[in-house]
């Protein structure tokens, strides 16, 4: 079955162009000019990816995604926005984005980013658990338990933590993580890894008392 992509873009001509180009690549799309029906579709359909503008009528796109994340909805998200300052891009990741594409953009780059996200998030998980200290990752349900309490992760964060736990006692450099977690596409940069690692740390160790992940300056990351 082809991946289903939900697009929220308030400029109708851009929305139609995105739907056309993604459809030509074999993807199914559902397009909206605002967020009014997004929750309804997510409840009724198996959506594989959301493409979300930020400047929308009635709501700000990243704030809307943050509200979905609080509800436990972890569908991967690519923000597509004219908000292109470093702090705005970082804010998008902090609010639950898996990737960020600034306007204006080339449709070819959009398609490549969509394929990269789907390659990573649609990997078939092996059944069973993998553990580290008081962390348990359930690979079948893709859930995280720390000290018997469930922790909500995005698909990106889950894959990142899985890569670290699967390679205990090994320092993983940013190039390795970009290759094995993000799919090796050249569009991703070291900063992408840094932001994702910091976001993961906040979720699994909010009071910074456990120090699960260690930064090895100039090299990469490893578990403590």
Q: In the chain, what percentage of residues exceed pLDDT 90? A: 56
| Residue predicted with more confidence, 1 or 142 | 142
Looking at the 3D structure of the chain, how many domains does it have? 2
Confidence at residue 218, expressed as pLDDT on a 0 to 100 scale: 84
**What's the whole-model pTM score?**
0.60
Token pair, residue 91, equals 């804010």
Q: Check: CB of residue 95 under 8 Å from CB of residue 66.
A: yes
64-121 per-position pLDDT tens digit:
999 999 888 889 999 999 999 999 999 999 999 999 999 999 999 999 999 988 887 7
Give me the count of residues in the chain.
224
Helix (H) or strand (E) holding 99: strand 99-102
Confidence at residue 139, expressed as pLDDT on a 0 to 100 scale: 83
Same domain, 116 and 148: no
Q: Of 2-16, 59-73, 185-199, which range is least confident?
A: 185-199
CA end-to-end span of the chain = 41
Same domain, 8 and 109: yes
Domain holding 199, by residue range, is 129-223
């Amino acid at each position: 079955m082809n991946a289903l992509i939900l697009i929220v873009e308030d400029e109708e001509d851009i929305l139609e162009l995105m739907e056309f180009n993604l459809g030509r690549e074999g993807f199914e799309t559902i397009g909206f000019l605002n967020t009014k029906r997004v929750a309804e579709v997510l409840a009724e359909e198996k959506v594989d990816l959301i493409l979300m503008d930020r400047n929308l009528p009635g709501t700000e796109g990243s704030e809307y995604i943050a509200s979905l994340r609080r509800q436990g909805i972890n569908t991967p998200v690519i923000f597509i926005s004219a908000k292109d300052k470093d702090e705005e891009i970082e804010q998008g990741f902090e609010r639950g984005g898996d990737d960020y594409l600034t306007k204006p953009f080339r449709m070819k780059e959009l398609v490549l980013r969509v394929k990269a996200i789907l390659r990573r998030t649609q990997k078939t998980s092996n059944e069973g658990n993998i553990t580290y200290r008081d962390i348990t990752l359930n690979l079948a349900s893709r859930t995280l338990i720390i000290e018997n309490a469930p922790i909500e992760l995005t698909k990106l964060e889950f894959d990142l933590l899985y890569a670290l736990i699967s390679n205990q006692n090994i320092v993983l450099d940013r190039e390795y993580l970009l290759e094995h977690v993000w799919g090796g596409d050249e569009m991703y940069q070291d900063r992408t890894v840094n932001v994702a690692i910091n976001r993961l740390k906040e979720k699994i160790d909010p009071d910074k008392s456990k120090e699960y992940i260690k930064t090895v300056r100039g090299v990469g990351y490893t578990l403590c």
